[in-house]
Structure formats: C-alpha cells, structure tokens
Amino acid sequence: MKRPPQIPLNQFQLAILLNDDEKQFYNAVLAENVFCRSCAGSVAKGVTVTEIHLTDLNDLLVRGNCKVCKGLVARTFEFGDKKAFYDRAMKFRKDIS
C-alpha cells in the first residue's frame, strides 16, 4: 500500500486529531521528556513547539526549541502504531484533502 504524504499540522488540527489521553501524553512528554543535545539531558523547562507534522506512518513529528538554551529539539510520537489513532489520522487526511 502506498504511504500517505507527510503533512504539516497547526495547533487546531492537532487538537482535533488527539484524544484526551493522547493530549495528556503529548503535553507531558514535551514538558520534560525530550532530549536536548546542548543541555545534554532532558529539556528542563519544556519545548517551544515550532512545527508539527503527521508523518507517512501517521506518527507525529514535533520540532521546536528547548526553553532553557533555545537549542533545536525534535521528538517523534509513535501514535501511528495504535490502530485507533491510525484510523483517525486517515480520516483526518481525507477530511482536509
């Protein structure tokens, strides 16, 4: 099967796509569980998100800046592994196309 393209998401679209559990997980991870190379550890004060993408595997790829050092950070959320999310993402792609 052909993989769908990677598409950028805005905050509004992200809010539609994630259920409450996923939102909680997303926020918790971005608050403290992203590796920052310049800090050589987890981001201590969270991430300022600059880009969100829905990848060809229906994972979320988030890019942003560490709030402590402003260094570039990125994190993938493997939501596409979960069938419920995958199906929701495919429907979302159809709705916005």
Return the range that interacts with Zn ion (CB under 5 A); candidates 6-14, 28-36, 51-59, 84-92. Answer: 28-36
C-beta closer to Zn ion: residue 27 or 38: 38
Q: Is 30 in the site for Zn ion (CB under 5 A)?
A: no
Task: Output the six-digit token pair for 38.
Answer: 């310049």
By C-beta, is 47 or 54 nearer to Zn ion?
A: 47
Figure out which of the listed residues 66, 75, 77, 85 binds Zn ion, where binding follows CB under 5 A.
Answer: 66
Q: Does 69 bind Zn ion (CB under 5 A)?
A: yes
Three-state secondary structure string covering 44-87 = CCCEEEEEEEECCCCCEEEEEEECCCCCEEEEEECHHHCHHHHH
Contact 47, 69 (CB under 8 A): no
- 7, 29, 31, 39: residue in contact with Zn ion (rule CB under 5 A): 39
The footprint of Zn ion on this chain (CB under 5 A) covers a number of residues equal to 7
- C-alpha 17/C-alpha 92 separation (Å) is 7
Cβ contact 93:83 at 8 Å: no
Site residues, Zn ion (CB under 5 A): 36, 38-39, 66, 68-69, 71
